[in-house]
Structure 1
């Protein structure tokens, strides 16, 4: 509807009265800004329609909030989430990513300068496990360097010494979900020969084994594979092996 109106406006010739500019001061936005401090903008990364009642019920259950939450439709599967407690909002953000019906839920802090149709939710935090690193590279510096090639580094799971032994090195990264999942990288350490390090993603929702995108799964892939090819998962470039078990910090 908004796109149709925009196209209509382009064709219109405005009268002097219509073209007169209305100047709105800070007083006109204060109430919305104050309420927005406890709000998040949310989108479910799905090609299917979202049932609002089901979404509300599911998120209230998994978020386990101290106080209530209101979820309102903004536009085109985009929602406003208003928390009754700022601590609840902070917890929900820190524990991201979340999913609804196995589809990724994107969350963004309230800013207010954009109309809903102008808001682009395209990033989500993930704990990424980096496998096949030599022991000498299980450091915070390594995590930051590799994580920075995936997106904005939010955290690295290392001890106070800056080193973390274990099955892998973990880094929390805000990744661009409009791109295919990155499966790994070639890394050269101290001028040694390069090696392939494998990435696994914790709490990874549905994604397409054909193209690696998070906005649909295999059966909804626009490439329209057909039933026979959908069963031949061994020839796909992506798979279950990208899912990492959740590791406690």
Structure 2
């Protein structure tokens, strides 16, 4: 976006009056910066238009904020959410991901330095389960190693001993949701043979079972053109 603006400006011819800059001091931004501490930016990962009033009612019921919450529409698909209590904001962020009408809700901290068009919304945390690992690999280090290949690891669910004797390992990972879901990874253990470790995602919203993207359902998938998305199960690379 910044590059596009620079290119646009380079083509403009400014008058003397237009070229005279306006300097804003800290007093001009103080009120917004103070209120921004209570805010998050929100986007619904969907091609469909969102009704802000329906969104507000739905998320109010889910979040149950102690001191209320306000929604402001910044762009057609981008919203600013202002909480009355910072503890409500922290709880909502910590309990992500959320969904609205089965579509993924993206949330991130308020960034006052950016215009709405400059804000990039593409990351969301998920708890991911890792299956089919040998017993000797069920450690904190293994969980971090696998999780880091999916995104930024925020937390691992491993006991203080560093070993987790359960059915699967589990990590909370901030993932790039513009990319396709990763179904698993080939793991090579101590120079031995490779094995397939498959993943399961907790609280997963709607996504395309054909291509693995969050942004649309099967009926809207460009790969579904000319095929029967309801019956052509052989083309479904993703599922429960």
What is the correspondence of 1:74-223 to structure 2 with a 5 Å cutoff? Answer: 74-223=74-223
Q: 1:171-213: CA deviations, max 9, x gaps?
A: 0000001100011101011222110000110000011111111
Separation in structure 2 between the aligned mates of residue 60 and residue 114 of structure 1, nearest angstrom: 27
Distance 1:10 1:221, change over 3 A: farther
Separation in structure 2 between the aligned mates of residue 235 and residue 8 of structure 1, nearest angstrom: 44
What is the correspondence of 1:2-17 to structure 2 with a 5 Å cutoff? Answer: 12-17=12-17
Alignment correspondent of 1:61? 61
Separation in structure 2 between the aligned mates of residue 235 and residue 210 of structure 1, nearest angstrom: 6
Distance 1:223 1:235, change over 3 A: closer
Partner SS, residue 65 of structure 1: coil
Partner SS, residue 154 of structure 1: strand
How does the TM-score come out when normalised to structure 1?
0.90
Aligned length: 236
- Matching of residue 26 in structure 1 with residue 38 in structure 2: no
Deviation of residue 12 (structure 1)?
Answer: 4.3
Q: 1:115-144: CA deviations, max 9, x gaps?
A: 000100010000000011111111111010
How does the TM-score come out when normalised to structure 2?
0.93
Does the 8 A contact of 1:41 with 1:79 survive in 2? yes
Alignment correspondent of 1:43? 43
Q: 1:134-158: CA deviations, max 9, x gaps?
A: 1111111101001111110000001
Deviation of residue 67 (structure 1)?
Answer: 1.5
Deviation of residue 25 (structure 1)?
Answer: 1.4
Structure 2 gap ranges (5+): none
Separation in structure 2 between the aligned mates of residue 70 and residue 60 of structure 1, nearest angstrom: 10
